Amino acid sequence: MIEKTQIIINKLGLHARAAAKLSHLANMYNANIYLIYNEDKVNAKSLLGILTLAASVGNEVTLHASGDDEKEAIRAISDLFNRKFDEES
């Protein structure tokens, strides 16, 4: 099991298109992947689940993954956050 904290740095936060990209990416891995924000823990493979977090720029979320490809999953998802979901230059 791996956990990593991640600050949301894209201006629009975890909005619909970002959540779609995140869930799409998470679905490429076998690991169970969760996103934790405040008291809420949602499946990172669920677009609608991610949206319920209503997490904004500056908020800190925790990525949690467990499974055979957990390291790769966390690395790829963290990279997506750091790339601002490819929506800002």
Partner 1 sequence: MIKSLIITHGNLGHEMIQVAEKILEQKLDIKAIAFDWQGDGSDMISQLEKFIAANKEHKIVIFTDMFGGSPSNIATRFINKNVEVLSGINLPGLLKFFCCERKGDKFVETIKTVEQGAIEGINIISEYLGDKND
- Site residues for partner 1 per CB under 8 A: 16-17, 20-21, 23-24, 27, 38-40, 46-48, 51-52
Q: Compute the least distance from the CB of residue 74 to partner 1, in Å.
A: 21
Other Cβ atoms closer than 10 A to 47: 19
Q: Measuring CA to CA, which residue among 35, 67, 68, 69 is closest to residue 52?
A: 35
- Cα-to-chain-centroid distance, residue 68: 18
Q: Which is nearer to partner 1, 52 or 82 (CB)?
A: 52
Among this protein's residues, is 64 annotated catalytic? no
Q: State in angstroms the smallest separation of the CB of 8 from partner 1.
A: 18
Check if the beta carbon of residue 59 is closer than 8 Å to that of residue 9: no
Give the residue numbers marked as catalytic: 15
